[in-house]
Each structure stands twice: as C-alpha cells, then as structure tokens.
Amino acid sequence: MEDPAVLIESLRQMSGDDLHNLAEAVRQVQIERAVASGDHDAVIAQAFENGFGRDGLGMLPWIEGDVIVCPGGLVSKSRSSHRCRFISVDDVWVWDSGLLIREDKRSSPGVEEGFRAIALIPVVDGTELDVVTGKARSGGHSVDHVVSFEVRSGVLIEVAQRTVTPQKMR
C-alpha cells in the first residue's frame, strides 16, 4: 500500500461520486471476502456451543475472521409468555438483512420450548448492530434492554447501552 498521506491526498482529489463508488467497491470486496472466508460450518457449530448464556438467550455478537457471529434466541415459558434476544443490523432484523451470509436455527435444549439461531454477517465498516432483549406476556411484546455496536476499522465497538422502561415506550 502506498504512503497513507499520498493515498489521502489522492482521495481528496476525487469527486463525490467517485468517493461514493470507491466506498461501495470496498464494501463489496469486504462482503465477498467474508462469504468466501473460513469454515462457516465450524464457526456456526462452535457458536451453538458457546454463544448462549445460562438463560438460553444469545450472548453479545463477536467477530470470527471476516464474519460477525450473531446469536439469537427465544425461550418460552408458556404459549403467551417468552423471553428473547435478537440482533438488528442497520435497523433491520438480522434474518431480513441484505448482509446475511447464513443463518442456522435449532430447537433449544431442555424443558422450556424455544429456539436458538446463529447468523453470520460480513465485517463491513460502518455496519451498526443492536442487540435487543425483550419479552412477551399476554400477547404484548416489550423491549427491556438494547446494546448497540458499530464496526469501525474492522473491530466491533460497543457504542451505547440502554434499558427501556415502560415509561420510555410511550
């Protein structure tokens, strides 16, 4: 790679459209590398072993090679009551995200009904993730806690954490 100062000066000379096209090209290469990299089967298998807490819900996401591992799950207490934790990517649930490489879903072990899922998305700078913990009771669903992350320079950085109270939901 050339001297960073020279590279930055070259970037400053580019038009806005050229900078946008370059950023999109970099994003595309990051996605392609993540799709082609590593053994996704092994990453998912290991994540099912280590990605869930004693409560049965997913742990916080982490980076494994060129992918972000996103565990999620739901634990039912009854037909009308459950606890859950899922991840949204750039304000879209991970399973609906255009960045989703793969998602595997399994029934939860144990006496409580529910499921666990592991989703893989590429490490792409600027991607924002929210880990949303919630619960449902008597047909109503509420959010309890949100932890927000952003990918910066290939690293997953926690940027915010907030507890959602019933008063803040109105």
Q: pLDDT per residue over 73-106, tens digit each?
A: 999 887 788 999 999 999 999 999 999 999 999 9
As a whole number, mean pLDDT of residues 27-47 equals: 89
Tell me the residue ranges of DSSP E strands in the chain.
Answer: 62-64, 67-78, 81-89, 92-93, 102-107, 113-122, 128-137, 140-152, 155-163
Q: What is the pLDDT of residues 103-152, one digit of tens each?
A: 999 987 666 789 999 999 999 999 999 999 999 887 788 899 999 999 99
Q: What is the pLDDT of residue 148?
A: 97
Of 83, 5, 66, 55, the residue nearest 31 (C-alpha): 66
Q: What is the pLDDT of residue 141?
A: 83
Q: What's the distance, CA 99 to chain centroid?
A: 10
What residue type is assigned to position 169 of the chain? M
Residue 42 has pLDDT above 50, yes or no: yes
Instruction: State the pTM of this model.
Output: 0.84
Q: What is the pLDDT of residue 64?
A: 94
Q: What is the pLDDT of residue 1?
A: 61
Identify the three-state secondary structure at position 107: strand
Cβ atoms < 10 Å from Cβ of 87? 25
